[in-house]
A and B are shown apart, each in its own frame.
Chain A
Amino acid sequence: MITGATGFIGHTLLADLLRRDVRSAVLLRPPLDQSTRRLAGMLLELNIDLDEMLASGRVILMTGDVVRGLPEPTGLNIQSIIHCAASTRFQTDPAGEPRKTNVIGTLNLLRWAQTNNINDLHLVSSAYQCGKTNRPVPETLSKDRPHFHNPYERTKWQAERACMTWSHAKPDRVLTIYRPSIVVGEYNTGRATKFSGFYLMARASRLLAEQYDHESGNDDRHHITLRLRGRANDRQNIVPVDHVSAMIAHAFVNKRFHGQIYHLTHPDAPSNHTIQRAIEAHYNIAGGRFVDPDTFDPGVMTEMDRLFCEVSRPIEHYFMATPDFDRGLAQELQMSAGLSCPAYDTTDLQRLFTYADQHQRDRYRGATAPTPKVADTDEPDLHCDAPLYNAYFMSFLPDRVNRSKIAQATGFSVTMRFVIEDIPNGQWVCRFEQGRLIEVHHGENTFKEDFCYRTHAEVFWRSIAGNVHPQKIFLKRQARVTGNTEQALKMAMILYKFNQEFPCDRQTLMSEGASP
């Protein structure tokens, strides 16, 4: 049985297992039809037809949730569990993640294994369960509790301990642990289904490059005065998802590899400097430089420094002091599988960014690619901020519009809908009468709007900060308009002026009482 099969690593691993003829029971979270559709779409991209697998009995679907409840495996002869489900958010959210899924969920799964007499457990953990350390990290369980960079690392460490305790309780129980480092898209194609962590820097650079794109004939893009906290020669330990998956699949089908811990890390990971070069070449910008965190003076941050710091804060520790992971066991496994962990030069890295950009673009073209649901990560600006969006529309906007010179001078009457597509329940209808905002409604409703702007969180924050012209966002397909396009474009100009008159960001909203 495999958990987390709709995830980035999980679906790649399921495909590898099916290619090796491993019959698999797949735990999907309810609603089953939606999860099945997502999984089918992801597998199809890897040339696996889920319907065919279901028809031939090679895949059996089970519905459940490691936190909310696991199903009775009636009639199934489950012998092993691959536990790949997790919350990958680094910081604790109001719902109690990542602890809930990673610790409580794992304990539930262990109890379930015990009840159903399953003794072979494969845990997908993380190389960073080692926390902060400057010693080589062995492929064994750490005796002492490390100092962690974030709650995520702690929960992964706790899950390993829980599994180890379970395995020691009975002699016939076997535990195998896989510890990947930072998992990125397939090596040859860049294909990924999740673009957090490592991709955040590239994403911030893309935003920056787009600003320069609008200023043609401008050479400033090659003289950016951006300082990045980190050391140029430190490495970011990225590994391609296909390598991680192939390693796990190989260990899984070869019993002699069971019962060990494997660091699925890169033996020769690219340096920050190489990654920076790749990003700059890819987005045609130049001038960023790493500044040693010990000498970095946060007191003299430019606007751009601040933007990058904000975007990269959750992953900042990956830019420095990457631990040195022992790989003896992983090396044996790798040799037995006939695999090697491919090296990254700037071209290889650029494939990752190209795929990520393409994926981003498709989202705005409404492409029907089977995009996985929004991943549970802590990209700093998105989902955990849900109340801030509401504060903007329900409180900031009404207050400021009614004081705005541009709104009053224009005196427009219009009903518009904003949809922020990657925010749960992210839509608001605003009704303006003669330049005054007289009604705002949150959530789906039947109001008849004159036009609707659809965009996503990242673009929303850029717009309301007054940094970018909404019409440019539209022309660059980062937002879509439905309804009366002409009014929408005119309104975009008014909003641009309004955003300059009253720029807003998270801090402003929080200082006015909203909490993320």
Chain B
Amino acid sequence: MTTKLIREQVYIPGPRGRLVGELSYPDNTTANAVVLIANPHPLMGGAIANNVIERLAMDLPAHGCVTLRFDYGGVGHSGGDPIDVAGNMRQFWETGTSPADPGMAQEVDCASNWLRSQLDLPQVGIGYSFGAYALVSSVVDRLASLILISPTIARHDFSPLSAAGRPTMVIYSDDDFATPVETTQHWLESLSPPASSHMLTGGEHFYRGMEPHIVKLCADFIVQTISEGGGA
């Protein structure tokens, strides 16, 4: 039986105006988990139409998940002033971080709360690139488990992850421009409790053509952690 996908546009109250997102869920299967997906940085093109984000949002429902992806404020149809490229780019050019970063982490927090108010199911977070930081810095305590794809550990503080002790999976590539592979592996070794991890050779940071493989890894991890009843 094929799973019919329902896609519903949703509006989430955010600190800078309403965030526009898309909730995707299976029509004829019971969902076991909700998955909150956090986008890469908008200054790097982070939006819900990103190749990895879109595939996860559309394909995970076939594995019994409800997914939520949304655009940060000022991006796509989300409210708020368009991201101030001129104001943020000088710092971003130098450091890969921007003054707007904490605001976006706060929006992830709003999305998580909204999702919780709508659906009483274990919540799993998937953060891609900057989105990994946005998740870890805002809602890690509330998640049943986390999946971090190309986390920007060379730029942002990921220390709340260990403190929360949630089951975590990390997907990274051996040729990621944002984080040298040794840095990621060293960080993985330092995590306690340890995270499971998968290195995708040649994924760069973009994983073009590898999206189905990523979906499979995420689906397996979610099924496993939910059935083990981990987390909140």
Contact = CB atoms under 8 A, between A and B. Distances in A.
A217 interface: yes
Contact of A412 (B93, B178, B208): B93
A469 B85 CA distance: 14
A107 to B, nearest CB: 52
Nearest to A484: B177
A295 B4 CA distance: 45
B54 A489 contact: no
A497 interface: yes
B93 A410 contact: yes
A493 B7 CA distance: 29
B206 A490 contact: no
A373 interface: no
A489 B45 contact: yes
Contact of B177 (A214, A215, A486): A486
Interface in B1-50: 7, 9, 22, 43-45, 48-50
A217 B22 contact: yes
Among A216, A472, A487, chain B packs the most CB atoms within 10 A around the CB of: A216
Contact of A493 (B50, B85, B204): B85
Contacts of A490: 43-44, 89, 92-93
B206 A475 contact: yes
Contact of B50 (A412, A475, A477, A487): A475
Contact of B49 (A214, A406, A485, A492): A214
Interface in B130-153: none
A486 B86 contact: no
A367 interface: no
Contact of B178 (A217, A405, A471, A486): A486
Among B7, B89, B92, B96, chain A packs the most CB atoms within 10 A around the CB of: B89
Nearest to A490: B93
A493 B178 CA distance: 16
User: Chain B interface: which size bin?
Assistant: 20 to 34
Given A217-B22, A486-B96, A489-B44, A406 B177 contact: no
A410 B177 contact: no
Interface string B187-224: 00000000000000000111010000000000000000
B87 interface: yes
B86 A410 contact: yes
B85 A406 contact: yes
B90 interface: yes
A486 B96 CA distance: 9
Nearest to B209: A477
Nearest to B91: A410
B47 to A, nearest CB: 8
Nearest to B96: A486
A494 interface: yes
Given A486-B96, A486-B177, A490-B93, A409 B45 contact: no
Tell me what chain B mostly uses at the interface: helix, strand, loop, or mixed.
mixed
A475 B22 CA distance: 21
Interface string A425-469: 000000000000000000000000000000000000000000001
B162 interface: no
A180 to B, nearest CB: 39
A412 B45 CA distance: 19
A69 interface: no
Contacts of A214: 49
Contacts of A493: 43-45, 85, 89
Contacts of A484: 177
Contacts of B7: 217
Interface in B64-91: 85-87, 89-90
B51 interface: yes
Interface string A385-424: 0000000000000000000011001111000000000000
Interface in A458-510: 469, 471-472, 475, 477, 484-487, 489-490, 492-494, 497
A475 B85 contact: no
Contacts of A405: 86
A477 B204 CA distance: 13
Interface of B: 7, 9, 22, 43-45, 48-51, 54, 85-87, 89-90, 92-93, 96, 177-178, 204-206, 208
19 contacts: A214-B49, A216-B22, A216-B48, A216-B49, A216-B54, A217-B7, A405-B86, A406-B86, A409-B89, A469-B45, A475-B206, A485-B205, A486-B178, A489-B44, A490-B44, A490-B93, A493-B44, A493-B45, A494-B89
Interchain residue pairs A-B with the least CB separation, the first 4:
A471-B45, A409-B86, A485-B177, A410-B89
Interface of A: 213-217, 405-406, 409-412, 469, 471-472, 475, 477, 484-487, 489-490, 492-494, 497
Given A409-B87, A475-B206, A490-B92, 18 more contacts: A213-B49, A214-B49, A215-B49, A406-B85, A410-B89, A410-B90, A411-B90, A412-B89, A471-B45, A475-B50, A475-B208, A477-B208, A485-B205, A486-B177, A486-B178, A489-B44, A490-B93, A493-B45
